[in-house]
Amino acid sequence: MATITTAADAVAAIPDRATVASVGVIGWITPDAVLKALGDRFRDTGAPRDLTFYFPCGTGDAQGIRGMDHVAQEGLMKRIVSGSYINPVDPKTGRRPELMRLIRENRIEAYSWPIGASMHWLREVARRSPGYFTRVGLGTYIDPELGGGRFTERAEADLVRRVSVGGEDLLCYPTWPIDVAIVRASSADEFGNLSWEDEALVSANIGLILATKASGGRVIAQVRRIVGRARRPASAVGIPGYFVDEIVVEPEMMMTTDVAFDPAYYSGARRPIADLPRPEMSADKVIARRAAREVRRRELSIFGFGAAADIPLVMAEDGHFDGDGLDDWWFTTEHGSYGGVVMSGWQFSANINPSAIMDGLYQFDVIDGGLCRFAALAFAQFDAEGVVNVSRFGAANPGAGGFIDIAENARRLVFTGTFTTGGLDVRFENGRLHIVRDGRISKFAEKAESVTYRVRDGVRDRGQTARIVTERAVFDVTAEGLVLAEVAPGVDVRTHILDRMDYAPVRIAEPLPLMDAALFQTGPVPLDRTGS
């Protein structure tokens, strides 16, 4: 039977050199009170020391819900393995997360794994298998031939290996035991049975708990409330109390960043489509509008962070979901929320009015199995060899997240983002784009700083189709290179496109079509102009 205790007492017995694992998705399901207690304990006592932290994905926002930034302390954190990192500038302090400082200054051993691997690896730990084997990620930054996911010079261990099985090259992620799991659920009863009835996501919580118990470790669960054992049907319980050691009750925990609690995120209530936020007119909105024309009815579509996540919101604004129209559009994200409308910004990863919420490990079975036929993803760089980079660039070290799994296994790909970054300022006048000030940095670099996915290889070898949508141009990705397929009204091809690329497209469409002027207007785009 689990013990109900305080966050401070729950972390008091964590020893030096332990492996501590936790999971959240930005602010969603982040056990922030317990992570804070662990960080406070080290700050006050200097113990425990030299921990290895395992986060299947970026946990916390590093601001109001600090998550893994609570434990980003030199001495406490020796090593971190994470499926993604959070790297925003705090608007109050102007500073980036402390974890990013430790990585940039080489203070810790830091590794970045694709989220698909970080999720599926837990299953192998739970099975006590020697490792997780996969094709996903070969030829990318996680491949040992291209760095093995190391993000600091101190990261010298070979946590990923390239092996041959039956003559086929695979990536192997060897398993190791987890000593302590820190998870979050909605409620627990006095026996410790956990349920997630009012959370928007489950993510890797179940896999993490089972992996830890198979390792002989201890599970700490942060919950919103304690309920009687007769209050829930057995089918609602996600984890039996046999696998939970300590319960920490935190009744006021935030649902996620900027959301104290909203039942529309798990369909405990329904939010009218008309009440959804409307993205402000911007370059990102133009990009989302143009990318929305690539989405097809009744095709499972998965959306990534950034301008891609605005696509469902602009579709809602333009009336696609009026009446029962939403039933024809099948949306999800890498974290397992199905149906409804994908949200953007800090609320990304969850959907408003979802129809189902899937466990995180099974969601990556869906992704790796190719069931998400269409994917809209962001890009930070796209180079002359057809390599797309979102994992490491400039001062940013976000990692790949679910990008590699999604990009390798979808059939149709759209990459979204502004053409340049670093000070881009645009205006919209009479259906035309006016570039007031261009960004300092072109995203079309000669060579990407990190290999997140080789798009041209996917087009050539696996029959994928790929398109890049920016605010001023649309490119088709072919086996030979980029083809300039559309240009925004008001843009000069030479000055604003070709001269701002480090390499030339292999071809320019002739004649070169203009992007629809309706994309650049401030009001909703009429349905008969969307092409859907």
Q: What is the pLDDT of residues 463-474, one digit of tens each?
A: 999 999 999 999
SS3 243: helix
If asked whether residues 319 and 399 sit together in one domain, one would say yes
If asked whether residues 355 and 270 sit together in one domain, one would say yes
275 vs 316: CA distance, rounded Å:
10
If asked whether residues 307 and 437 sit together in one domain, one would say yes
Say what the pLDDT of residue 441 is: 97
Residues 419-444: what's their mean pLDDT?
97
Say what the pLDDT of residue 38 is: 98
Q: Residue 179: which domain range?
A: 16-183+202-218
Whichever domain contains 273, its CATH number is 3.40.1080.10
Active site residues: 334
If asked whether residues 67 and 178 sit together in one domain, one would say yes
Domain assignment present for 228:
no
Residues 490-506: what's their mean pLDDT?
98
Say what the pLDDT of residue 26 is: 96
* Structure-block tokens of residue 433: 């784009």
Domain assignment present for 163:
yes
If asked whether residues 300 and 403 sit together in one domain, one would say yes
pLDDT of residue 531 exceeding 60, the answer is no
Question: Percent of the chain at pLDDT above 90?
Answer: 94
pLDDT of residue 529 exceeding 80, the answer is no
Residues 73-86: what's their mean pLDDT?
97
Residues 6+ positions from 103 with CB-CB distance below 8 Å: 85, 110, 151, 152, 397
Neighbour-count burial for 58-96, b at 16+ CB within 10 Å, e otherwise: bbbbbbebbbbbbbbbeebbbbbbbbbbbbbeeeeeeeb
Domain assignment present for 386:
yes
Q: Beta-carbon neighbour count of residue 432 at 10 Å?
A: 14
Domain assignment present for 194:
no
Residues 6+ positions from 523 with CB-CB distance below 8 Å: none
If asked whether residues 43 and 157 sit together in one domain, one would say yes
Bond before 48 cis per omega within 30 degrees: yes
Residue range 301-357, pLDDT digits in tens: 999 988 899 999 999 999 999 999 999 999 999 999 999 999 999 999 999 999 999
β-strand partners of 512: none
Domain assignment present for 479:
yes
* Structure-block tokens of residue 174: 């060897």
78 vs 262: CA distance, rounded Å:
37
If asked whether residues 208 and 307 sit together in one domain, one would say no
Ramachandran category for residue 101: left, alpha or beta (phi over 0 → left; psi -120 to 50 → alpha)? alpha
Cα angle value 4/10/14 (rounded, 5°):
150
* Structure-block tokens of residue 154: 């101190």
Say what the pLDDT of residue 129 is: 98
Domain assignment present for 65:
yes
If asked whether residues 270 and 154 sit together in one domain, one would say no
pLDDT of residue 134 exceeding 90, the answer is yes
262 vs 248: CA distance, rounded Å:
22
- Calculate the average pLDDT of the chain: 96
Question: Percent of the chain at pLDDT above 70?
Answer: 99
Say what the pLDDT of residue 300 is: 98
pLDDT of residue 532 exceeding 50, the answer is no
Q: Which amino acid is at 255?
A: M
SS3 464: coil
504 vs 490: CA distance, rounded Å:
21
From 140, 77, 74, 71, select the one nearest 112 (Cα to Cα): 140
Domain assignment present for 230:
no
If asked whether residues 287 and 210 sit together in one domain, one would say no
If asked whether residues 126 and 48 sit together in one domain, one would say yes
144 vs 73: CA distance, rounded Å:
28
Give the C-alpha distances (Å, rounded to integers) separating 296 from 26, 155, 231, 292, 374: 29, 43, 42, 9, 8
If asked whether residues 278 and 408 sit together in one domain, one would say yes
Half-sphere exposure of 418 (CA within 13 A, CB side): 20
Bond before 511 cis per omega within 30 degrees: yes
If asked whether residues 169 and 285 sit together in one domain, one would say no
Domain assignment present for 120:
yes
Q: Give the count of domains, the chain.
A: 2
β-strand partners of 476: 467, 483
pLDDT of residue 135 exceeding 70, the answer is yes
Task: State the DSSP H helix or E strand holding residue 35, giving kind and residue range, or none if neither.
Answer: helix 32-45
28 vs 20: CA distance, rounded Å:
19
